[in-house]
Amino acid sequence: MKKIKILPYGVGVVGSLIAKFLMEKEGVEIIGAVDVARDKVGKDLGAILGLKKKIGVKISENIESALSKSKADVAIHATSSYLKDTYSQIASIVEHGVNVVSTCEELSYPYISEPKLAKKLDTLAKEHNVAILGTGINPGFLMDTLVITLTAPCQSIEKIEATRVMNAATRRLPFQKKIGAGLSVEEFTHKIKKKQITGHVGLEQSIAMVADALAWKLDRIVVESVEPVVSRKPVQSKDIQVKPGNVAGLKQKAKGVIKDKEVIALDFRAYIGAEEEYDAVTIKGVPEISERISPCVHGDLATVAVIVNSIPKVMKAPAGLLTMKDLPVPSAALEDMRKYVKQA
């Protein structure tokens, strides 16, 4: 079997980490790359990834020129969080007959916030006989796929709680900026109003995916407003200093409700200086399940892994728009990637 041909689409911080990791993997080759950033277009991908050598793949501004010499099997799409922004990008990939694995948070379960776009993508993917998956660490794994898996040994469930607490100091700079680290409370509030800080995108999608897996018909999903985590002491990351009284990050809760009863509750906290980092899932039911990963899973490393490990599963999946709950049990693809595509 020939090497699996990959097209990175969006080589910002996360797309670059994924591309670098793919270059170390056996059985795959990068055949082109797309990004619109002025400082990237036309450059060799090696330079964008900070490598000392050229790798002979130029960054193209659009998919037509990226695929002019070679067709791709899978595009790794990593540009932005909302489906209304990424729809046309993903549609253009699909129209070229290429499978998509995307970090777009809304795409992880788009049926609630963007049902029309989700339907259009599903139809388009089936027309072109390819599969589309939105995934990552969160949404994509910790607060949905893992939670769903942990319900497997339950006879009955009253309530599911999932919490993620992370020290943002160890995360990439765009993430630290995205959570408002270093701002005054006034600046934070202003940026929230202007939608320049959106909080964690994906809580609604994770709740909807879990409910769907359990065939729970939620009366509503409530995503609470984003709150700043104000630091009492000076804390810092490599790039950002947080003075006492300023914002170290944010917290946000969301819940899924049936008949005024909270049945799914998610609690997300990301801030510089978090002393205890963990991912916890508690299932109140029979039997009771209590799982804690401490320290919490490293978001950037794990996003890269979830995306890359999904490649063979997406290549083998039926055509259409898929979510993590539609794929086989998730697992790592450690060996030559072609082995997992060949597996029966």
Give 80 or 231: the residue with its C-beta nearer to ligand NAP: 80
Of all residues in this chain, which one has the CB nearest to ligand NAP in the complex?
12
Between 31 and 263, name the residue whose CB sits nearer to ligand NAP. 31
- Which residue is it, tokens 């599903």? 122
Closest distance of CB 232 from ligand NAP, Å: 29
Alpha helices in the chain (DSSP H): 13-24, 45-48, 63-66, 83-95, 115-127, 145-150, 173-178, 185-193, 203-214, 299-316, 337-342
The answer to the question of residue 163 lying near ligand NAP (CB under 6 A) is: no
Is 182 near ligand NAP (CB under 6 A)? no
Residue type present at position 191: K
Sequence-distant (6+) residues with CB within 8 A of 101 are 74, 75, 76, 77, 133, 135, 307, 310, 311, 314
Q: Which two tokens stand for residue 111?
A: 């049926």
Tokens standing for residue 158 = 């009253």
Binding residues for ligand NAP restricted to 254-293, rule: CB under 6 A: none
Beta carbon nearer to ligand NAP, 18 or 242: 18
- Residues 63, 34 contacting (CB under 8 angstroms): yes
* Burial label, 272 (beta-carbon count in 10 A; 0-12, 13-18, 19+): buried
The three-class DSSP label of residue 242 is: strand
**Contact criterion met (CB below 8 Å) for 265 and 160:** yes
Of the two residues 174 and 244, which places its CB atom closer to ligand NAP in the complex? 174
The one segment of 13-21, 147-155, 157-165, 309-317 that binds ligand NAP by CB under 6 A: 13-21
Kindly tell me which residue out of 60, 99, 138, 145 binds ligand NAP, with binding defined by CB under 6 A.
Answer: 138
* Minimum distance from residue 251 beta carbon to ligand NAP (Å): 18
Task: Tell me, residue by residue from 33 to 52, as one string, x for binding to ligand NAP by CB under 6 A and - for no binding.
Answer: -xxxx---------------
- Please report, in angstroms and rounded to a whole number, the separation of the first and last CA atoms in the chain: 15
Site string (60-99) toward ligand NAP, x via CB under 6 A:
------------------xxxx-------x----------
Kindly state whether residue 301 participates in binding ligand NAP, applying the rule CB under 6 A.
no
Residue 139 or 256 having the CB closest to ligand NAP:
139
Report the site for ligand NAP in 95-124 (rule: CB under 6 A). Answer: 103, 105
Q: Of 140, 180, 182, 199, which lies in the binding site for ligand NAP, with binding defined by CB under 6 A?
A: 140
Query: To which residue do tokens 């670098």 refer?
Result: 20
Which residues, listed in sequence order, are joined to residue 293 by a DSSP beta bridge? 279
Q: Which residues bind ligand NAP (CB under 6 A)?
A: 10, 12-15, 34-37, 78-81, 89, 103, 105, 136-140, 174, 303
